[in-house]
């Protein structure tokens, strides 16, 4: 930085919990580092591996998922299966580790990061860009979230993602309510990780038709979080608003083009009395207030309300398609057709798992910001104290 130059203002909140990933799609391994996990968490690695396996599911996936069997290896930060408070380093190894053997494509694919990345870094080799831009990186995010979700679950918070539509076919809007306590079982039995078995056959036919046409399909998914206390996030600064943090996290997933909370874009067509959620007294322990509706999706003023968090996201069709898209050769400057790179017909089911992971990571950041402690016991004591304050807030003043 030049002498006297203004310092760049941070646009992200400083959080107790931080995470980073590294690695390329066809490199030897994906690496992740988590800092801020409290000591004393009994970590179930098989739970993390189950999340990684779920990310590999879904009708319409390509050949890569038949090669990889993702499993996490913890490299630091625990002893005897229990976190010790130091940074947790982990890896997810790639079986298809052939980055140095793959050919150099010269025709960037529309819809991918190929051309914009080559322009940014001055590359003539799109593989130098696409290997990191690949959605394969999200396996490390899912592994990180598989760890932090166990912190949330220890305090009664569940984060659950599922597919709600594919290729213009919508699942039943009351799928969550209809599934009830069987939602995990129904999702796992679905080829699309949906909660609507009757829609699965129509979506399967849509995928088959797109494959026959050498094309691809996008879709939508929902992520719900239940058991959240009110007051996570903040209205005190723009970068601390949880709405923006969650939206940004979901938009960081490759191919996400839209995010909405609660009734989303429908708010633009309604009157205020049909948008906002009435406040009523609550008899529930730990919170003296409740809402009669949840059209806001569990967020007001960038903070949780205590109602279930509801987020929907839209994923575009995968741009690696066999039908080919017009492009320009980076070496000759001549018009050509983009080379097909092995890909899926659709990966919206997998994207719902990644979306669930990103929501869990952000919620864990916000939760530990508010109730942060060096151990799980300290976090729990802070949460209990806060719940007592919430209960007293609804009592008449003396």
Residues making up the binding site for NADP(+):
55, 61
Report the alpha-carbon distance of residue 7 to residue 5 in Å, rounded: 6
First-to-last CA distance in the chain?
A: 57
- Known binding-site positions for FMN: 132-134, 301, 316-320, 342
Q: How many CB atoms lie within 10 A of CB 279?
A: 11
Strands 88-93, 82-83: pairing kind: unpaired
DSSP designation for 194: B
Report the alpha-carbon distance of residue 114 to residue 130 in Å, rounded: 6
Report the alpha-carbon distance of residue 238 to residue 255 in Å, rounded: 25
Q: Cα dist. 295→177, 266, 267, 318 in Å?
A: 16, 10, 9, 31
- Known binding-site positions: 55, 61, 132-134, 301, 316-320, 342
Q: Residue 183: CA atoms inside 13 Å, Cβ hemisphere, count?
A: 16
Report the alpha-carbon distance of residue 188 to residue 58 in Å, rounded: 10
Tokens of 15: 């959080």
- Per 3-state DSSP, the chain is made up of helix, strand and coil in percentages (nearest 5) of 35, 20, 45
Strands 158-166, 82-83: pairing kind: unpaired
Report the alpha-carbon distance of residue 51 to residue 325 in Å, rounded: 34
By residue count, the chain amounts to: 398
Report the alpha-carbon distance of residue 133 to residue 196 in Å, rounded: 32
289 burial (CB, 10 Å; 0-12 / 13-18 / 19+) is: middle
């Amino acid at each position: 930085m030049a002498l006297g130059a203004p310092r760049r203002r941070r646009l992200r909140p400083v959080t107790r919990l931080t995470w980073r990933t590294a690695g390329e799609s066809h490199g030897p391994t994906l690496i992740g580092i988590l800092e801020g996990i409290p000591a004393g968490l009994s970590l179930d690695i098989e739970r993390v591996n189950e999340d990684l396996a779920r990310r590999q599911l879904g009708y319409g996936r390509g050949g890569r998922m038949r090669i990889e069997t993702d499993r996490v290896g913890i490299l630091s930060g625990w002893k005897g299966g229990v976190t010790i408070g130091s940074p947790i380093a982990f890896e997810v190894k790639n079986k298809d580790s052939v980055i140095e053997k793959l050919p150099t494509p010269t025709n960037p694919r529309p819809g991918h990061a190929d051309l914009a990345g080559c322009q940014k870094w001055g590359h003539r080799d799109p593989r130098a860009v696409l290997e990191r831009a690949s959605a394969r990186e999200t396996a490390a995010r899912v592994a990180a979230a598989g760890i932090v979700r166990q912190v949330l679950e220890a305090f009664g918070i569940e984060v659950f993602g599922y597919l709600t539509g594919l290729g213009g076919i919508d699942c039943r809007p009351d799928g969550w309510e209809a599934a009830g306590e069987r939602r995990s079982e129904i999702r796992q039995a679905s080829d699309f990780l949906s909660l609507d078995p009757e829609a699965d056959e129509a979506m399967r036919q849509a995928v088959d038709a797109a494959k026959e046409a050498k094309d691809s399909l996008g879709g939508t998914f929902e992520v719900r979080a239940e058991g959240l206390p009110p007051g996570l996030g903040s209205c005190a600064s723009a970068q601390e608003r949880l709405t923006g943090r969650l939206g940004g996290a979901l938009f960081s997933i490759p191919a996400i083009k839209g995010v909405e909370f609660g009734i989303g874009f429908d708010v633009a067509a309604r009157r205020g009395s049909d948008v906002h959620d009435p406040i009523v007294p609550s008899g529930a322990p730990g919170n003296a207030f409740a809402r009669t509706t949840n059209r806001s999706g569990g967020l007001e003023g960038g903070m949780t309300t205590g109602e279930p968090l509801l987020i929907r996201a839209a994923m575009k069709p995968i741009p690696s398609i066999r039908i080919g898209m017009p492009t320009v050769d980076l070496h000759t400057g001549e018009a050509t057709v983009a080379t097909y790179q092995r890909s899926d017909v659709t990966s919206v089911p997998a994207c719902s798992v990644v979306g669930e992971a990103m929501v869990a990571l952000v919620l864990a950041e916000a939760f530990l910001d508010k109730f942060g402690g060096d151990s799980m016991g300290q976090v729990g004591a802070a949460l209990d104290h806060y719940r007592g304050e919430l209960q007293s807030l609804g009592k008449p003043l003396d």
